[in-house]
């Protein structure tokens, strides 16, 4: 079955960087769009970034544009989120999520990881 | 950016009652509307995609309807495991956005 496992979370000072990883198994990784979605403590869900199935196209929320970079290594079945210039408001659980169907623009999330907590604190 | 507004913020109902949750979008998303359920300490779970298609393994008591800007998630008869927060999300254009959520609590 599909499994997504995030790693790399932790406590970081404002302005510093952090990289999250998401290891995927149970499906043909390179055929699917992959996303990062975050949830601040006690708040709702916020879509952060997408790596489309073709591996070349990427999309970002305005709140992270220019600071975060999504990438993927299809040979390792791994998705990444490089987070630079971190701010207090980036504190959240970061979920890795898989698009609902292979190829195309099927941007609903049918599988989620358990989440990685990122805390930005001085 | 398309804004999604969910109502009510909290719904207090007893087991066996019918729950009706609303999601309105600031512009038409056709039928590209998705529903999730989230319980405390857990990742969200996909319920409905493209307005009315139940995801794999989702019980028939969950149904979705709507198109354009007005959407509804209906739980026909609440089971104890259905008490949770429900979010809608559109996939009509970038950026993808979520609604603020509706909490279904035990009355």
Residue A88's φ and ψ, nearest 5 degrees, are -55, -40
Of B38, B49, B87, which is closest to A100 when you measure between CB atoms? B49
| Cβ-contact A83, A70 below 8 angstroms | no
Contact A45 B98 (CB under 8 A): yes
Chain B residues whose CB is inside 8 A of the A62 CB are 1, 95
Chain B residues whose CB is inside 8 A of the A41 CB are none
Mean pLDDT of successive 10-residue stretches along chain B, which has 107 residues: 98 98 98 98 98 98 98 98 98 97 97
Residue A101 pLDDT level (bands cut at 50, 70, 90): confident
Q: Over chain B, what is the mean pLDDT?
A: 98
Q: Which residue of A has its CA nearest to B57?
A: A110
Token pair, residue A10, equals 């932790």
Predicted local confidence at residue A105, as pLDDT: 84
In whole angstroms, give the CA distance from residue A104 to residue A10: 34
In whole angstroms, give the CA distance from residue A109 to residue B37: 12
Mean pLDDT over A88-99 rounds to 98
Predicted local confidence at residue A54, as pLDDT: 80
Predicted local confidence at residue A102, as pLDDT: 84
A89 three-class SS: helix
Contact B95 A61 (CB under 8 A): yes
Q: Over chain A, what is the mean pLDDT?
A: 96
SS3 of chain B: CCCEEEECCEEEECCCCCEEEEEEECCCCCCCEEEEEECCCCCCEEEEECCCEECCCCCCCEEEEEECCEEEEEECCCCHHHCEEEEEEECCCCCCEECCCEEEEEC
Note the maximum CA span of chain A.
42
Interface test with A, best of B1, B39, B96 (most A CBs within 10 A): B96
In whole angstroms, give the CA distance from residue B103 to residue A5: 27
In whole angstroms, give the CA distance from residue A45 to residue A53: 22
Q: Which residue of B has its CA nearest to A109?
A: B46
| Cβ-contact B70, B22 below 8 angstroms | yes
Contact B91 A108 (CB under 8 A): yes
Please check the confidence at residue A31 and state whether its pLDDT lies above 90.
yes
In sign, the C-alpha dihedral spanning B58, B73, A95, B92 is positive
Please check the confidence at residue A53 and state whether its pLDDT lies above 90.
no
Q: Which residue of B has its CA nearest to A44?
A: B100
Q: How many CA atoms lie within 13 A of B3 on its CB side?
A: 2
Residue with tokens 């790596």: A51
Predicted local confidence at residue A104, as pLDDT: 81
In whole angstroms, give the CA distance from residue A97 to residue B23: 22
Mean pLDDT over A106-116 rounds to 96
Predicted local confidence at residue A61, as pLDDT: 98
């Amino acid at each position: 079955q599909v499994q997504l496992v995030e790693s790399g979370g932790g406590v970081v000072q404002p302005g510093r960087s952090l990289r999250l990883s998401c290891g995927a198994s149970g499906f043909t990784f390179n055929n699917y769009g992959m996303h990062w979605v975050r949830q601040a403590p006690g708040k709702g869900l916020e879509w952060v970034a997408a790596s489309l199935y073709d591996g070349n196209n990427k999309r970002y929320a305005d709140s992270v544009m220019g600071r975060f970079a999504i990438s993927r290594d299809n040979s390792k079945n791994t998705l990444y989120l490089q987070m630079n210039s971190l701010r207090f408001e980036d504190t959240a659980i970061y979920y890795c999520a898989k698009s609902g169907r292979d190829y195309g623009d099927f941007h609903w999330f049918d599988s989620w990881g358990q989440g990685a907590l990122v805390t930005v604190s001085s | 950016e398309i804004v999604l507004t969910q109502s009510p913020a909290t719904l207090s109902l007893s087991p066996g009652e019918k729950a009706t949750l609303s999601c309105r979008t600031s512009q038409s998303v056709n039928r590209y509307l998705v529903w999730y359920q989230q319980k405390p300490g857990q990742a969200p779970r996909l319920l409905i995609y493209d307005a009315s298609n139940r995801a794999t393994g989702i019980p028939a008591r969950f149904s979705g309807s709507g198109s354009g800007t007005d959407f509804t998630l209906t739980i026909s008869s609440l089971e104890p495991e259905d008490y949770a927060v429900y979010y809608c999300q559109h996939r009509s254009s970038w950026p993808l956005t979520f609604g603020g959520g509706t909490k279904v609590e035990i009355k």
